Structure 1
Amino acid sequence: MKKLISLIALVLVIVCSVALFITIKDKKKSDDSLQTIKKVSLKKGEIRLGVMLPGDETDSFSKNQIASVKDAAKQCNIPENDIIWKTQVKNSSECKEAMSVFAEANCTHVFVTNERVAASVYENAEDYPDIKFFVYGGTAAKISKVKNVYDYSLKDSEYRYISGVISGMKIKELQEKNALVSENYDDDNKIRLGFIGSYNNSKTISAYTAFFLGVKSVVPDVTMDVEYTDGKNNVNNEGTAVQRLMSRGAVVIGYDTNSLSIPSVVQAQKDGGKNVYLVSANANMLDIAPTAQLAAETNKFNNVYKDIITKCKNNEKISQDLAYGYKEDALEITSFGPEAPANVSETVNALQEQFKQNQIKVFDTSKFKVNGSILTKATIDLSFYEDNEKEAIYKGKEKNAIVKEGDINYFSESSLRSAAYFNYIIDGIKEMKVGELEPKE
């Protein structure tokens, strides 16, 4: 056992060191080869794209964004040299600088892929009236009254739910083989799950709740601990979080960070004999977790960007709040691992089709409780608040998210706005912060 712990610790150190080395090396490379920005004259109706990224090609999310924009631009006959990139934009001052660069380069449309700088975009967009700004995960384009800003989001809860179903199928297989051990159960004999969240916000809460409800649809008696890392690519916190979840006996782990370390550490534990698996987020990680990965949640952002660019080229009226899910061909579950449950492909295909037909209600209120009670009303404040500020920057309406359709009452996610707003800690889930000894209900 001591040897196993030492091996895991060694793997964590190596993974973190390698990731840090790669990040520093690639950041230097990026700094040394800054894109030459030239202001060019454009013909009427011609498009020049700007892309603002929170990272670069060393993190799975930004790498996917870069590839997706390039593919969409190619399909829309936009030359690659008409795409201006700004990487590592993480705060408001860097965002303002990037917006100035895009204007100087004569960009007509800008994709902002980091919702953490949304406030800066809303605040400064009117200074650049000739540019349309599209903010991924933004929540205030409509209520801000800024005419040249648009929000777009993915309906993450759809494929998180399917990931949960896959995980439940695997757990059921392990149960039938009597492969689970005592540490995989809590004191109430419920099977343990784990989830690693980037930020404690509605987007993450909606994602992990959908995952949990997907598992429960197959295996009802489960419980889940949630660890937060306070960042999308925080290698040290990710390593600590996943290690803690596995030490408490989590059988399957989900996450919404842009992580390379989580799959590595889970695979190391599995190689050491633990019953532990994961569903990869944002990218296929089979090369890192060849037997631990059950499947991968992958985003088809190329279709999202193709849709937006096409609408712009055709001068179509564009909603300031755009939501993309299975119906819009923006999500998929791929890359099933060799230990994925039997019939997983057929099950996933069927569920994906049901989402396209609007036949699945992820947050069916009969399927979960909050503090022992069924949600009968869920008042959502659609105002925009920056970080933990109590005063709204932009005032939105308060609306009830509970909808009745036939005999089903459900929390209607991504309908009042595109970005997630489910913000309830449902029974069976415990949130933790890295470093806390005990979970909090």
Structure 2
Amino acid sequence: MKKLIGIIALILVVCCSVVLFVSIKGKEKNNSAVQKVKKVALKKGEIRLGVMLPGDETDSFSKNQIKSIKQAAKDSNISVKNIVWKTQVKGSSDCKDAMSEFAEANCTHVLVTNERVASVIYEKAADYSDIKFFVYGGTAAKISKVKNVYDYSLRDSEYRYISGVLSGMKIQELKAQNVLLPENLDEKGNVKLGFVGSYKNPKTISAYSAFYLGVKSVLPEVTMEVEYIDGKNNVNNEGTAVQRLMSRGAVVIGYDTNSLSIPTVVQAQKNGGKNVYFVSANSNMLDSAPTAQLFAETNKFENVYKDIIEKSKNKEKISKDLSYGYKEDALEITSFGPEAPANAQETVNTLQEQFKQDRIKVFDTSKFKVNGSELTKATIDLSLYEDDEKEPLYKGKNKNAIVENGDVKYFSESTLRCAPYFNYIIDGIKEMNVGELQPKE
């Protein structure tokens, strides 16, 4: 019977993936071309935005970016006519074409929402000295010393930690109801979690580690597997990865991919009788997963972009390294499903207020171990390396990220630079090999 259910679930994965793939390909035909906009004269101090997106409205991240930028522009009295969009910017060639087009369209500021093309921006920005470039997830605006480039990032670890706390509360409820199955526990009795990661880099490692530590703060007896898909918007690999995690007994699953397939696949398993849930990233997916979604981690990018726009309009000095979290009203947990844990909203309210007051240290070194030992020193190389090159593209300093504050010692994330740099595999977390995505029997 289990084998039959597994086969049915796999068929659902493939069917969902094919439908989504066809839908995405259809939209790519309409969106992949550079938007042709004539150069126009601007009034003194007028802002014209260029927006560089890794996808389009078929992925949750880009869809959220488009919505947020439009809202920020409206709040800052910038006409939609003064926004130039470039979608499907995935590589160096796409990025260079977009930069040229933004210059021709007389853009004054460009929002680059794909960190995978950051090195191209640092390299070419000086050729467009009249444009200010803001790179989401960028790591080298300061060390590159390019005058017209700025990095900005979210402190994702803050709401990943809160979502972990809520997930731990849900698992406690399931344990109290005595509905967990032997497959949901490892040989030591730890409850299994899962996470679908996009790329094996500090951003993803920081995200899933914060999620895990949030769960562990409520329920110490947990373990987690991470499946990497080596990409951001690959519906086939996302569906297969989450299917593998569920087949090995994961009870709650998080992700940092731009997934439309994970909610559908998890809901299918839940409809088949499994006690399995997921935490949505970037947007509310209750329409696709009405009972499997516990809640959504959503970014209030409209506040981020409004801050950048307003600083630019007022000609304020802008930091080369902009960090946004709960203090800046850039993060939230929303869209609670019908099976979210009791008192979820009250818990969120309490924890987000504690983050605003800087009372929570996500990576408190007394709360986790790496290779059996407490992390007493963490030397972070702030250089930017291109792919697997041994020599840095831009040389940064080596700094220790461990901070002592009274009796608390912690890894200080997103302070040495805005983009995450936590790069340690915490005991209790197992990373699966990138690319091995064929479902197991």
Could you tell me the TM-score, scaled by structure 2's length?
0.97
Alignment length (residue pairs): 438
Aligned to 1:157: 157
Aligned to 1:4: 5
How far off its partner does 1:31 sit?
Answer: 5.1
CA distance in 1, matches of 2:385, 2:31: 33
SS at match of 2:432: strand
- The one-letter code of the counterpart of 1:7 is I
The correspondence of residues 270-309 of structure 1 with structure 2, limited to 5 A, is 270-309=270-309
SS at match of 1:100: helix
SS at match of 1:63: helix
Question: Closer, same or farther in 2 for the Cα pair 1:18/1:298, shift >3 Å?
Answer: same
Structure 1 gap segments, 5+ residues each = none
SS at match of 2:258: coil
Aligned to 2:36: 36
- The one-letter code of the counterpart of 1:298 is T
Is 1:107 equivalent to 2:107 in the alignment? yes
SS at match of 2:151: strand
- The one-letter code of the counterpart of 1:259 is S
Misfit runs of 4+, over 4 Å: none
- The one-letter code of the counterpart of 1:116 is R
Aligned to 1:414: 414
Which piece of structure 1 moves more, 232-241 or 411-420?
Answer: 232-241
CA distance in 2, matches of 1:387, 1:363: 27
CA distance in 1, matches of 2:182, 2:14: 29
- The one-letter code of the counterpart of 1:251 is V
- The one-letter code of the counterpart of 1:413 is E
Question: Closer, same or farther in 2 for the Cα pair 1:357/1:278, shift >3 Å?
Answer: same
How far off its partner does 1:14 sit?
Answer: 1.6
Aligned to 1:394: 394
Aligned to 2:315: 315
Aligned to 2:172: 172
CA distance in 2, matches of 1:406, 1:285: 42
Please tell me the root mean square deviation across aligned C-alpha atoms, in Å. Answer: 1.4
Q: Deviations over 1:352-403 (max 9, x none)?
A: 1111111100000000000010011100000011122211010000000000
Aligned to 2:65: 65
CA distance in 1, matches of 2:96, 2:74: 28
CA distance in 2, matches of 1:138, 1:31: 23
Q: Deviations over 1:218-274 (max 9, x none)?
A: 000100000000001111111111011001100100000000111111111111111
CA distance in 2, matches of 1:158, 1:80: 32
Is 1:366 equivalent to 2:366 in the alignment? yes
The correspondence of residues 202-281 of structure 1 with structure 2, limited to 5 A, is 202-281=202-281
Aligned to 1:330: 330
- The one-letter code of the counterpart of 1:385 is Y
CA distance in 2, matches of 1:55, 1:185: 38
Q: Deviations over 1:323-348 (max 9, x none)?
A: 00000000000000000111111001
SS at match of 1:287: coil
Aligned to 1:429: 429
CA distance in 2, matches of 1:436, 1:381: 31
CA distance in 1, matches of 2:64, 2:176: 38
CA distance in 2, matches of 1:40, 1:158: 42
How far off its partner does 1:296 sit?
Answer: 0.2
Q: Deviations over 1:302-321 (max 9, x none)?
A: 00000000000000000000
Q: Deviations over 1:95-123 (max 9, x none)?
A: 01100000000000000000000000000
CA distance in 2, matches of 1:239, 1:437: 11
- The one-letter code of the counterpart of 2:242 is V
CA distance in 1, matches of 2:438, 2:96: 40
CA distance in 2, matches of 1:134, 1:42: 20
Aligned to 1:143: 143
CA distance in 2, matches of 1:30, 1:375: 47
How far off its partner does 1:437 sit?
Answer: 9.4
CA distance in 1, matches of 2:424, 2:4: 41
Percent identity reads 74
CA distance in 1, matches of 2:387, 2:165: 33
Q: Deviations over 1:160-195 (max 9, x none)?
A: 001100110000001111111100011111111000
Is 1:51 equivalent to 2:51 in the alignment? yes
SS at match of 1:209: helix
Aligned to 1:93: 93
Aligned to 1:13: 14
Q: Is contact 2:371-2:427 (8 Å) kept?
A: yes
CA distance in 1, matches of 2:25, 2:175: 44
CA distance in 2, matches of 1:35, 1:374: 52
How far off its partner does 1:44 sit?
Answer: 1.3
How far off its partner does 1:9 sit?
Answer: 2.0
Is 1:190 equivalent to 2:178 in the alignment? no
CA distance in 2, matches of 1:219, 1:437: 31
Aligned to 1:23: 24
How far off its partner does 1:3 sit?
Answer: 3.7
- The one-letter code of the counterpart of 2:356 is K
- The one-letter code of the counterpart of 1:389 is E
The correspondence of residues 344-363 of structure 1 with structure 2, limited to 5 A, is 344-363=344-363
SS at match of 2:230: coil
How far off its partner does 1:436 sit?
Answer: 7.2
How far off its partner does 1:29 sit?
Answer: 2.5
CA distance in 2, matches of 1:281, 1:389: 31
